[in-house]
Every structure is written in structure tokens, then in C-alpha cells.
Amino acid sequence: MLFYRPSTIHATIITHPQAIPSFEMPRIACSTKRHHTSLASIGGDVEYLENSPAPPSQHLLFRDASTPAIVAGGTTQHHSSLSRAFGTTAGVDDAKDRNEEKRTAPISRRIHILGLGNVGKLVAHSLAGIPNRPPVTLLFHRRGQVNDWFKEGRSIKILQHGVHEQSTGFDIEIVRHPDHELPSRLRNNDLIDHLIVSVNASATADALLNIVHRLHKDSTVLFLQNGMGILNEVYERVFRDPNTCPKLMLGIVTHRLTTESSFSSSLYGIGTIGIGYIAELQLPGLGATKEASQFIPPSARYLLRTVTRTPFLAAMGLIAPDLYQLQLEKLFISAVIDPLTVMFDCKNGGLLDNFAITRVMRLLIAEISLVIRSLPELQDIPNINMRFSPAKLEYQIISIAKTTATNESTMLRDVKGGRPTDADYLNGYIIRRGEELGIKCVMNYMLMQMVKGKQQIESRKLGGRLPWRDQSDFP
């Protein structure tokens, strides 16, 4: 596991004496000569410890100058901290054993962010700007992200009204599935108390499998994603044991952003974030019981309070029924605009003022509206037919398309990049709920299959031009 904490970087070599060439940098720590090669692109000085015993495992450690370096031969506290962080035997098994023990230590203030798309960058940037900011760790899954991080000055930038706001002070880690052969020097098994997930819906389960051994039953996971039905897959593939399942929260983000670079985004539409606590196994709807909604565990309460006290995010806590309706509204808009922009290969504004496209759009809207208005969990909510009527939703979709006329949808960008889309969690969710109600969603089914087909065509084009290599490998 790779750690980085900004400011002046101190380094210490924890290894047996051997000749290691030096290179210019603010004191970087590496444990073997092999690390020197990987750090050469970063540049810096290496401080060598002559008589330090060999560490239990080799690691690359970036530390902030404000915290004391952990070196071999230090105090007992240092040794136990090193053992806790990196493990002397099978790290994953140690983490699982710790998950089974009763936690007596106070809940950590540290927040981990998994997924650094536009939403992840916005949340990290906003948390860095509040008083008494919590420690924030960015979780990377590709080595290329580390290179981009240093190239862009180890900071996150948000462009608003022509002005770049820059935030620093983040730690970084590289994560990998525990079953994969990740070198011990890059492996970290510290428990995660608070996790914000903002990866694409299609990659959520796989991303969580990389760190599930570090989560425990008192952890809190906040999902900030587009689409619905994600929790079903997470319960089936990741948190199959309800006794060890973390506390889960869902969030709906209405801020509108575009990507400028790997760690820079442009905020062109200010919105809000609605967050709700989800009791265990509340599927497929989010109708919380009275007992579940009245009690929020300490870790979830801390994460909720931290996010809602961030002015830039304009976040608010919601009860489950209100959160569910907001989810459906955003899903409705995305399930219409995103796949249509893929099929017509146009920006959002290209869907406007086109009679043929408008007829297709209205057929799609009518089908989705019928499914949502027929959901049994919404029948006791007043004015649900008016809120999700075809006319009202068409007006909302046209308004969003006008506001974002010059932008490409996320799904279109994914298709052009040959990446999997979220169609299964947008139109696919409507299809699944329609089948439960006996409604055949032929428009949604056709559109979803067309999007998948086009994504496969683009993926094969890119695969034929470029050599394939798993960028998550770390030699």
C-alpha cells in the first residue's frame, strides 16, 4: 500500500545496509533498491539508516513532516503501529480477525474516498476546506493515478466561475483485491471506519472487494452514485454476511460537473446532496421501519455530520421515503438523456428541437413514468402520480438538456472510452421493476441493449488499436 501525506516529505530507509544511489527529492523513504527505480520519476533525496534491522515486510511510506517517522529500532509503540499497518503474516487474515473482535478504541476521524471522478473530487475538495478538517485518504486503484497525482501538484482543483480553487493535504493509498498478488510493501490492512464510494455503479462491487477485508460491522459506507439497484449487487457479492455488514448510507448528488483532468473538475451547476441512512437489507425500496430510522450508529452519525457541515456541498439528511423519490427523479432523467445521447452520438443539447428524437423521448418517458407510478412502496405517498407524471418529467428533462446543452453525458464518455456503462442501473432498473409489476418495458430494453452493443463496438476498436495491459498491476 502506498501512503502519501503532503507538506515536506521525510523519508527513512528501513532495510539492511546496502548501497542505494541518491536522487533529488524532499527526502523520500524506500525500503529496497527496487523502490529507487519506481521513485526515480518523482525525484528526491534518500536518507539511509546504517544499522536498522530488516522490517517485517517491505513498504513504500510517504509521511507528512508533522508526524514522526516510524523507523525500525524505535519504541514499542512504533513497532506495534508498523505491525498493525503492514502485518507480519497474512495481512488479510489479520484484518478479518480484528473485524471479529469487539472495538474498544474511539472511532477514527479519517475518511477514505474510493472513486475520484467528478463527485469524488468535489467531496474531497470540500472536506479539505472546512474548519477542523478530518484526515482524508484517497484510494487509487491504478499506478497511473499516482503518476497523475504528482504531475498535477498533489492537489485537487475545482473550477467555478472561471476561478480555480485548489486543495491539498490529502493522503493516498493504492488498493488491490486481497486475492491478487500485491507485493507486501504496497499492502495495507488498517481498518476503515468511514468510506465514501463514488465509482461508477458498474464497478462498485469489484471496487469494494479490494478493501472489504478492511471494513467491519461498525464501519459506515456512503454511496454517492448515479443509478439504482447497486445495493442489491453489493449485498449479494460483497456483504453477504449480515453480521459483519457495515452501516450503509445513500446519497443523491445534483451538483453538475465536467472533467478537466485527472484531479481537476469544473462546477457549472450548483446543486445539493441528499443523504439517508439505510437499515440492513431494505430492498428493493427504502422504506425504513420506525425503529431503524430513529437510531443512527455513531460512525454513520459522524460521517453524516461531517458531510452536512461542509457548506460547499450543501448536503442535508433525508428520511428514507424522501431519499427514494429523489433517487427515482435523478434515475428518470439519466435513463432518458444518457442512452439517447449515446445512440445519436450527440451532446445533451442535440436532443432538443428535433421532432423525431422528441417522439422517441416521449415513448421512453411514458414507459418509465408508468413503472414508477406503479411501484407498491410509493402508493401511500401523496401526489406521487403528479410528481412522476409524463408531462412533468418531460419538462424536467428538457430543462436539464438546455442547461447542459454543451456537455457530453457520462454514458457517452464511457462508451467513447470503451468502458462499461451504468445502463444496467438506469434502464436496467426500470426493466427489473417493470417485470415485477407485469409491465413489459420494451423501449428501455431495446435502448439498453443498443447502448451495450455500441459500447462493445467501441471497446473492440480501441482493443484493436492499443495493446492491452492491466494497469492495476504493480511489479
Residue 181 pLDDT: 53
Query: Any idea which of 13-17, 110-114, 144-148 has the lowest mean pLDDT?
Result: 13-17
| 1 CB-contact burial (10 Å; exposed 0-12 / middle 13-18 / buried 19+) | buried
Cis peptide, bond prior to residue 106, ω within 30 of zero: no
Query: What are the pLDDT digits (tens) for 414-439?
Result: 999 888 899 999 999 999 999 999 99
Residue 43 pLDDT: 38
Residue 465 pLDDT: 52
Which residue did the predictor score with more confidence, 67 or 401?
A: 401
3-state secondary structure labels for all residues of the chain: CCEECCCCEECCCCCCCCCCCCCCCCCECCCCHHHHHHHCCCCCCECCCCCCCCCCCCCCECEECCCCCCCCCCCHHHHHHHHHHHCCCCHHHHHHHHHHCCCCCCCCCCEEEECCCHHHHHHHHHHCCCCCCCCEEEEECCHHHHHHHHHCCCCEEEEECCEEEEECCCEEEECCCCCCCCCHHHCCCCCCCEEEECCCHHHHHHHHHCCHHHCCCCCEEEEECCCCCHHHHHHHHCCCCCCCCCEEEEEEECCEEEEEECCEEEEEECCCEEEEEECCCCCCCCCCCHHHHHCCCHHHHHHHHHHHCCHHHCEEECCHHHHHHHHHHHHHHHHHHHHHHHHHCCCHHHHCCCHHHHHHHHHHHHHHHHHHHCCHHHCCCCCHHHHCCHHHHHHHHHHHHHHCCCCCCHHHHHHHCCCCCCHHHCHHHHHHHHHHHCCCCHHHHHHHHHHHHHHHHHHHHHHHHCCCCCCCCCC
Residue 319 pLDDT: 86
- Alpha-carbon gap, residue 151 to 186, rounded angstroms: 21
Residue 451 pLDDT: 94
Give the mean model confidence (pLDDT) for residues 101-117. 77
- Alpha-carbon gap, residue 293 to 276, rounded angstroms: 9
Identify whether the C-beta of residue 195 lies closer than 8 Å to the C-beta of residue 223. Answer: no
Q: State which amino acid sits at residue 38.
A: S
Query: What are the pLDDT digits (tens) for 262-298?
Result: 899 999 888 899 998 886 444 444 444 434 445 788 8
Query: What are the pLDDT digits (tens) for 30-78?
Result: 333 334 333 333 333 333 333 333 333 323 334 333 333 333 333 333 3
Residue 101 pLDDT: 47
Which residue did the predictor score with more confidence, 308 or 286?
A: 308
Apex 161 CA angle, 198 and 258, nearest 5: 30
Query: What are the pLDDT digits (tens) for 369-380?
Result: 999 999 999 998
Residue 226 pLDDT: 87
pTM for this model (two decimals)? 0.73
Query: What are the pLDDT digits (tens) for 193-221?
Result: 999 999 988 889 999 998 998 998 889 99
pLDDT band at 85, cuts 50/70/90? very low
Q: CA Rg, the chain, in Å? A: 24
Residue 376 pLDDT: 93
**What percent of the chain is predicted at pLDDT more than 70?**
69
442-465 vs 320-344: helix axis angle to the nearest 10?
60
pLDDT band at 464, cuts 50/70/90? low
Residue 136 pLDDT: 95
Which residue did the predictor score with more confidence, 282 or 147?
A: 147
- Alpha-carbon gap, residue 186 to 60, rounded angstroms: 7
Residue 20 pLDDT: 33
pLDDT band at 24, cuts 50/70/90? very low
pLDDT reading at 111 higher than 50: yes
pLDDT reading at 222 higher than 80: yes
